[in-house]
Amino acid sequence: MRVLYDVSRLLSRAERTAPTGVDRVCLAYAEWLEGRPDVVMIPVRGRKGRLVAVDQTWFRNFVRNLRARWDGRTVNGAARHEARLLAALSHDQRPAESVICPPPDAALKPARDKPRVLRQFFRSRHAAPLPPADLYLNVGHTTLHEADALVALEEAGIARVVMIHDLIPITHPEFCRPGDADKHRARVVHALRHASSILVNSQHTADELSAFAERENLSAPPVHVAHLGIETAFAPGDAVRASRPYFIHVGTIEARKNLAQLLTLWRRLEERLGERTPSLVLVGRYGWENETVLDHLQRSPNLRGVVHQAENLSDGALVRLMRGARAVLAPSAVEGFDLPAVEACALGAPLIASDIPPHRELTPQAQLIDPLDGLGWLQAIEHATLSEPPAGVATFQPPRWSDHFDTVARAVGLGASSPLAARGEGE
């Protein structure tokens, strides 16, 4: 099977030293397609409403280098910050200052001259027609906000499989950038109208997609639920040995993660416990509408030396921090899958998570608390701080990429006697 794999999002992450959840998915698919002997992967990217091919040899090297960087096998610029964070956690006494990354300066304009690594993939063949293919695969949302590429593929008789990770910009636009709701609505509508089939990461996302299609009076193509896999690094093993108890949250610092409430609770915790207050580590990049979180981090005297923030950590450093935490915290108001919460369970780390549908579906053994129940969260964190660390956590069978890709292979017709038929063709 000749597969046009849309790598637009992955290429936009060329300089990142650590991935988001969606980035992990895009890289895993590239490696899966490259490793199948019955697939010819043709990387493509969106350009002005259409798809153009990316040099295959260059892209294979790009994928290997990106994997090495995200795994921590190559040195990145976050090493110094990582060392400062570990030193702060190792202090017997509360440090005088928190370890935090400076927030991005919105006034700064991006440099006009792109780094060479970014220029290389723009050397794709803009004018040349796409090579013959059986399937177009897009698991990164990018390109879907315009229908032109999907329509052209449909007219050419090429099957079209896309993944929808969540409908949060549509269902909860207050947590997203202005304009994101309209853009994501366009993506979902185009997928419903022009995709041969749709992949989703959870039953909750499938239910949200079905409800949206019904509201919009649209018929959905076949929808396949395939839980995302966990990287092999997220397994029991060595942990950070901190002098004081600490908790950790992993994810972009944005409004829907409920971190403003978490930091308010930490201030109350500090008022109660004083020098016994546990540390809190926020691991993630600054995202949208994080001003309240920044106010806490930068201005609250109660949180100084107690709450730390880091970004761009390698997987090696991240998993050691998660293993050593008294608990991983996932207080989100809304999620589609919440990969860090599932990763915490795979590590054997205690998890305190919001009582929302994805957590009930994917991490039922976690301690689930309503995201609005501030006192319940405070009590759970205080209890975990003052109690002895649990001797062990109930066995958890994490979702595997092999199971995920078995579902995907069946959905796209790999291994079947005939290739995947595009919806509506031959009718």
Q: Give the CATH number, domain containing residue 303.
A: 3.40.50.2000
pLDDT by residue for the chain (427 residues), tens only, comes to 999 999 999 998 887 878 888 999 999 999 999 999 999 999 999 988 789 999 999 999 999 999 988 887 665 556 677 888 888 888 888 888 898 888 776 544 444 445 544 544 445 555 567 889 999 999 999 999 999 999 999 999 999 999 999 999 999 999 998 999 999 999 999 999 999 999 999 999 999 999 999 999 999 999 999 999 998 888 888 889 888 899 999 999 999 999 999 999 999 999 999 989 999 999 998 887 778 888 888 899 999 999 999 988 888 889 999 999 999 999 999 999 999 999 999 998 999 999 999 999 999 889 999 999 999 999 999 999 998 877 655 578 888 999 999 999 999 888 643 344 444 443 3
Domain that holds residue 185: 2-54+124-229+401-412
Amino acid 4: pLDDT: 97
CA dist., res. 330 & res. 250, Å (int): 8
Amino acid 76: pLDDT: 57
Amino acid 136: pLDDT: 97
Q: Counting beta carbons within 10 angstroms of the beta carbon of residue 93, is it exposed (0 to 12), middle (13 to 18) or buried (19 or more)? A: exposed
- Same domain, yes or no, for 175 and 142? yes
Distances in Å between the alpha carbon of 244 and those of 94, 212, 326, 391?
Answer: 9, 47, 10, 18
CB contact at 8 A, 68 and 74 = yes
CA dist., res. 65 & res. 73, Å (int): 9
The backbone torsions φ and ψ at residue 237, rounded to the nearest 5 degrees and listed phi first, read: 175, -155
CATH number of the domain within which 209 lies: 3.40.50
- Same domain, yes or no, for 224 and 246? no
- Same domain, yes or no, for 296 and 171? no
CA dist., res. 253 & res. 309, Å (int): 10
- Same domain, yes or no, for 154 and 203? yes
Q: What is the DSSP letter of 274?
A: G
- Same domain, yes or no, for 252 and 339? yes
Look at the pTM and tell me if it is higher than 0.85.
Answer: yes
In a domain, 391, yes or no: no
- Same domain, yes or no, for 185 and 304? no
CB contact at 8 A, 350 and 321 = no
Contacts of 3 (CB under 8 A, 6+ apart): 33, 39, 40, 41, 42, 133, 134, 135, 136, 137
- Same domain, yes or no, for 281 and 356? yes
- Same domain, yes or no, for 265 and 372? yes
Amino acid 87: pLDDT: 87
Amino acid 336: pLDDT: 95
CB contact at 8 A, 170 and 188 = yes
In a domain, 210, yes or no: yes
CA dist., res. 149 & res. 381, Å (int): 49
In a domain, 152, yes or no: yes
Can you read off the two tokens belonging to residue 338?
Answer: 């919440």
In a domain, 245, yes or no: yes
In a domain, 188, yes or no: yes
Sheet (strand 367-369) strand order = 307-310, 279-283, 246-250, 327-330, 351-354, 367-369
- Same domain, yes or no, for 100 and 158? no
CA dist., res. 325 & res. 351, Å (int): 10
Report the 10 Å Cβ neighbour count for 425: 11
- Same domain, yes or no, for 137 and 208? yes
Residue matched to tokens 């006494």 = 93
Quote the number of domains for the chain. Answer: 2
In a domain, 320, yes or no: yes
Residues β-bridged to residue 137: 5, 161
Q: Is the dihedral of CA 252, 258, 264, 270 positive or negative?
A: negative
In a domain, 266, yes or no: yes
In a domain, 205, yes or no: yes
- Same domain, yes or no, for 96 and 243? yes
Amino acid 78: pLDDT: 61
- Same domain, yes or no, for 337 and 356? yes
Amino acid 312: pLDDT: 83
